Amino acid sequence: MSQSSVTRSTLLKDLRMEWRSKDAINSMLFFSLLVVVIFSFAFNPTAEESRQIAGGLIWVAFLFAAVVALNQTWARELRNQVLDAYRVSPAPPNALFLAKALGNFLFVVILETLMAPLFVVFYQLRSVGPVWQLVVVALLGTWALVVNGTFFAALSIRTRSREIMLPLILFPISIPALLAMVDSTTTILTGDGTPSFWLKMLVVYDVVFTLVCLLLFETVLNAE
């Protein structure tokens, strides 16, 4: 079995399951909607203030929502020993990892696409800087969260109290990526300087951690 065919079939299987159940996307949407509403009560910002704080709000909402999807990544493979079956099969482990990471990436990007208009409406956001840069930040940042998140979800399913474990190990490692996402978003929204350093940072972060994940995934999958 080639790398790409395993990746494709696993990804399609996950997408089909999600399409039929809509478990992850519904819980993520509802969760981030709650965050939007609660933050809006807490800060009650004017248009100018919300430009300053929106970067933080948006990414905190998406980060917490992403954890919901990430936690479900491997859980369904544990039922019926699918993961064990995968381990004894000759399929390359990294293909499985990439499929899971891409699946989570798609879920979170869809969530962001659906939630972005709500943020704009509720916080009266109007970007001063170019909007396409926000899209670049979102794509790079989402991959940064999701690639490590998928890997750490594979770590945390092997622990007691697995649902709590994932954010505990994911958030500290993700701090530089979050800083880059929040600060570049604020920079673009306020039109105050350019986010080029942060974009480079995110690219470096994405490349480095994707490599580390691919390097270590087989070891973690086969850990017993």
Partner 1 sequence: MKIISIGFVILTLALLGFSTYQALVVAPTEQTMGEVQRIFYYHVPSAWVAGLCFAVNFLASVVYLWKRSLNADALAAASAEVGVVFCTIVLITGPIWARPVWGIWWTWDARLTTTLVLWLIYVSYLVLRRFATGGQSQVLAAALAIFGFVDVPIVYMSIRWFRTQHPSPVMGGGENSGLAPEMLHAFLWNLLAFTFVGICFIVARYRLQLMENRVEAAHAQLALQGGAR
Q: Is 224 one of the binding residues for partner 1 (CB under 8 A)?
A: yes
Minimum Å gap between C-beta 103 and partner 1 is 21
Tokens 């396409």 label which residue?
132
Which helix (H) or strand (E) covers residue 182, if one does? helix 162-190
Which helix (H) or strand (E) covers residue 191, if one does? none
For partner 1, the closer of residues 69 and 202 by Cβ is: 202
Q: Is 148 one of the binding residues for partner 1 (CB under 8 A)?
A: yes
For partner 1, the closer of residues 88 and 175 by Cβ is: 175
Q: Is 204 one of the binding residues for partner 1 (CB under 8 A)?
A: yes
* CB neighbour list of residue 219: distance below 8 Å, 6 or more residues apart: none
Q: Is 88 one of the binding residues for partner 1 (CB under 8 A)?
A: no
Q: Rule CB under 8 A: choose which of 44, 80, 117, 160 binds partner 1.
A: 160
Find the Cα–Cα–Cα–Cα dihedral 185, 206, 142, 50, rounded to 10°: -10
Structure tokens at 80: 């019926």
Q: Rule CB under 8 A: choose which of 12, 37, 82, 208 binds partner 1.
A: 208
For partner 1, the closer of residues 27 and 56 by Cβ is: 56
Task: Tell me the C-alpha distance between 7 and 32, whole Å.
Answer: 29
For partner 1, the closer of residues 103 and 195 by Cβ is: 195
Contact, 156 vs 162, CB < 8 A?
A: yes
Residue 130 CB neighbour total at 10 angstroms: 12
Which residues inside 162-181 make contact with partner 1, applying CB under 8 A?
165, 168-169, 171-173, 175-176, 179-180
Structure tokens at 84: 């064990």
Stretch that binds partner 1, among 9-17, 36-44, 113-121, 196-204 (CB under 8 A): 196-204
Q: Is 158 one of the binding residues for partner 1 (CB under 8 A)?
A: yes
Q: Is 199 one of the binding residues for partner 1 (CB under 8 A)?
A: no
Q: Is 223 one of the binding residues for partner 1 (CB under 8 A)?
A: yes
Q: Is 216 one of the binding residues for partner 1 (CB under 8 A)?
A: yes
Could you please report the per-residue DSSP string of 102-129?
A: HHHHHHHHHHHHHHHHHHHHHTT---SS
Contact, 107 vs 28, CB < 8 A?
A: yes
For partner 1, the closer of residues 119 and 198 by Cβ is: 198
Task: Tell me the C-alpha distance between 218 and 224, whole Å.
Answer: 12
Residues that bind partner 1 (CB under 8 A): 148, 151-152, 155, 158-161, 165, 168-169, 171-173, 175-176, 179-180, 183, 193, 197-198, 201, 204-205, 208-209, 212, 216, 219-220, 223-224
